[in-house]
Structure 1
């Protein structure tokens, strides 16, 4: 009989290929964060997904985790095509681009300043979260969510920002509207306080389930507004005030 990991792997591969959804309740749950990462790695390998970027995070137990972001990578003004029936969430984020490979070296932890020296630019990024899981309503066992690459759907790369913006979020605000109606307007807040915390934790991971951090990849440091559910499709305007704006279309 297939194992839990094989069942989850095959179901999520089929959903990605068919642009369809899997009922969350129909899937078993990987037994740990490590197993979730292993399933994600197996899916990426089977589908030959592009290792263009990573979304990094810290699990509730303190384990550093990451989701592969193969794209699509879009520019402001472009259209994001969602799967039929999928919930789409919008996240305003600070992203970084790697200028050099970041070697895996668990015996020699990176400092925050050293890790930043591997990056050549910061930018305003907008992630569209579109998991392959149906009827999850924002609640799903974390190892299963991790197997689904933390729900990555697509990514809009907005204007360049001064890299020092990661040092202090004070005075920044997040705004999102859909078809001219405000759906979010609150101060920017990062779940770990410092946007670099999850990136630093992942760079200093002790076990390398996934492939490495490579030059040219982008790393998104986590949402500054949580995952804002879009109540419909249409024209989205996002702002990280006073630093930049990204407009896009959900369809």
Structure 2
């Protein structure tokens, strides 16, 4: 009989290949967050996904976690094709580009300044969250991890000053769909400092998900939560007063 890992891996691989959805209730839940990361790593291996980027986070028990971001990487004005029936959420973020490798170093923790020293660019990033799980509200976090934290695609917007990460609280987040405002609030990061989840992941104790390599994009987490798009069409996002980008959901 297939194991939990094999059953979930095969279901999510088929869903990603077919741009389809699977019912959450029909899937086994990984026994731990680490097992969920292991499933995600297996899926990436089967799909031959490039380790082009990472979305990082801190789980509710304090464990640093990440989702692989293999692409598509969009440009302003591009079209994102979602699966039929999928919920699409928009997140306004600050992304960093690694200029050099960040070696796995569990016994010598990186400092915030040292980690930033490995980065040469910051960008306005827009993540499209599109889970392979239908009706995923309230999904167990270990299952969410297996699905790469619901990653769908990522838009690389204008370059920002890296110092923007030091205090984003003076910024505002705005999102509209087809000219109708769906979000307009001050920027807030769940961990306070947007670097906190990146630093936690750089100082992780296990490395089975893959390394932090030069050229990869690391997104530091949403400044507006996950904003559900009520439909398809033109999305305009602003990190006020710094930058504006648009894309089309289809």
TM-score range, shorter chain: over 0.9
Structure-2 separation of matches of 1:170 and 1:112: 19
SS for the counterpart of 2:181 is strand
SS for the counterpart of 1:191 is coil
SS for the counterpart of 1:51 is coil
Structure-1 separation of matches of 2:232 and 2:168: 30
Q: Which residue is 1:71 aligned to?
A: 71
- Residue segments in structure 1 that go unaligned for 5+ positions in a row: none
1:164 aligns with 2:175: no
Q: Which residue is 2:47 aligned to?
A: 47
CA displacement at 1:101 relative to structure 2: 0.5
Q: Which residue is 2:227 aligned to?
A: 228
The TM-score, its normalising length taken from structure 1, stands at: 0.99
Q: Which residue is 1:210 aligned to?
A: 209
Residues 84-106 of structure 1: per-residue CA shift (max 9 Å, x gap): 01000000000000000000000
SS for the counterpart of 1:170 is helix
Structure-2 separation of matches of 1:195 and 1:187: 15
Structure-2 separation of matches of 1:246 and 1:28: 39
The correspondence of residues 195-206 of structure 1 with structure 2, limited to 5 A, is 195-206=194-205
The TM-score, its normalising length taken from structure 2, stands at: 0.99
1:179 aligns with 2:172: no
Structure-2 separation of matches of 1:170 and 1:110: 25
Residues 36-89 of structure 1: per-residue CA shift (max 9 Å, x gap): 000000000011001100000000000000000001000000000000010000
State the 4+ residue runs in structure 1 displaced beyond 6 angstroms: none
- Residue segments in structure 2 that go unaligned for 5+ positions in a row: none
Residues 167-211 of structure 1: per-residue CA shift (max 9 Å, x gap): 001310000000000000000000000000000000000111211
Structure-2 separation of matches of 1:170 and 1:55: 21
The correspondence of residues 1-251 of structure 1 with structure 2, limited to 5 A, is 1-136=1-136, 138-251=137-250
RMSD: 0.5
